[in-house]
Amino acid sequence: MKQTRAYPLFTVTKKGTRWVEDGHPWIYAAEILAKSAEPENGALADAVSEGGKYLGTGLYSRDSKIGLRLVSRNANDCFDKAFWRRRIRYAWDYRKAVLDEADLGCCRVIFGEADGFPGLTVDRFSELLVTQTLSVGMERLKDLLFPLLVEVLREDGQEIRGIFERNDAAIRALEGLEQGKGWYPLPGETPPESPVTEICENGIFYAVDVENGQKTGFFLDQKYNRRAVMRLAKGRRVLDCFTHTGSFALNAALGGAAHVTAVDVSESAIAMAEANARRNGLEGRMDFVAADVFDLLPTLKKGDYDFIILDPPAFTKSRKTADRAEKGYKEINLRALRALPRGGWFATASCSHFMPSAQFERMLRSAARDAGVELRQIEARQQAPDHPILWNVPETDYLKFYLFQVV
């Protein structure tokens, strides 16, 4: 490699080299054999093979098991303001290409490694951007990146009034970062007075509290899966389990369902779902139940509902607990299938990367067999395209969503 930059050189093992050459942007600390110098935490370093072949340039993390997160494999890149501006522009242009124009007002603008910003998530909720920074490298760069984000979007005619940081994730500790949340101070601007805004998705309005809502305030990845449920719901009695703020239930109601019951164990989530129903004039065809889904499903009589939706939180956040999580998934899917009549409709999902599609499908086959039914697949879907999947980065592929008819 022709060395033209002053970045420290990290020599990587043969195993780490193969990993990078296969396309993954992470170099684990255990695969770093030597450093020509110790960079500042979060600073850039070049990675080379044991033979000196250039592998890429990445952001160094002193505390994480992921020692280097690559941001480029081009030895000629200059990581200045223009570089990062181009990358933001590229991410936004991608969203404009793959999303309906109406969905650009509530979408994921940056999805970490899938957009070349390792450890950074940026969601847009109307006039607010919400960020979650989970790597020390992105934390170090945010004073450059965040004003650029606003600049790029405003140049495209988008109204952006502020950035709210949701850095209250425990995983930040793995990078030696403190937790916290609050408005990011854009130079020369006063933050909005309220962290609550309103979005419109699939024709439904939601109040989004970016300070206190789940994750960054609202789950955007199921937007088109909710639309698929809307199409099937007309005239049906629908049970939406793990409703959270009511998104699947509201889509079913707007789609013409005869009646929708929305269930969640959280009373505050149920209160928000009811408020969203009132906002959209749908409360007359819906009811809301605060209950544990595991307890509720066995009490149902076959045919009480002819469409059941299961969208649970992640039952596993590590490979070690995947088998135990599979048992939990089977339990709720089996109980739902037993409650549905022949010809009924069934939607089921998993949002865990550590529950791969093959394992989830194996569980569904087992649940259907034990319930004495067959599943006629309508669609197998994933996350919306503003959460792009890189095939060489399996961590970006996490959401599984299936629509079936029970026969």
- CA–CA separation, 402 and 383 (whole Å): 11
Q: Is 351 a catalytic residue?
A: yes
Q: Given the residues 106, 107, 241, 351, select the one marked as catalytic.
A: 351
Task: Tell me the two tokens of residue 151.
Answer: 């600049």
Question: CB count, 10 Å around CB of 335?
Answer: 21
Here the tokens at position 394 are: 């399996």
Other beta carbons within 10 Å of 380: 12
Q: Which amino acids are annotated catalytic?
A: 351
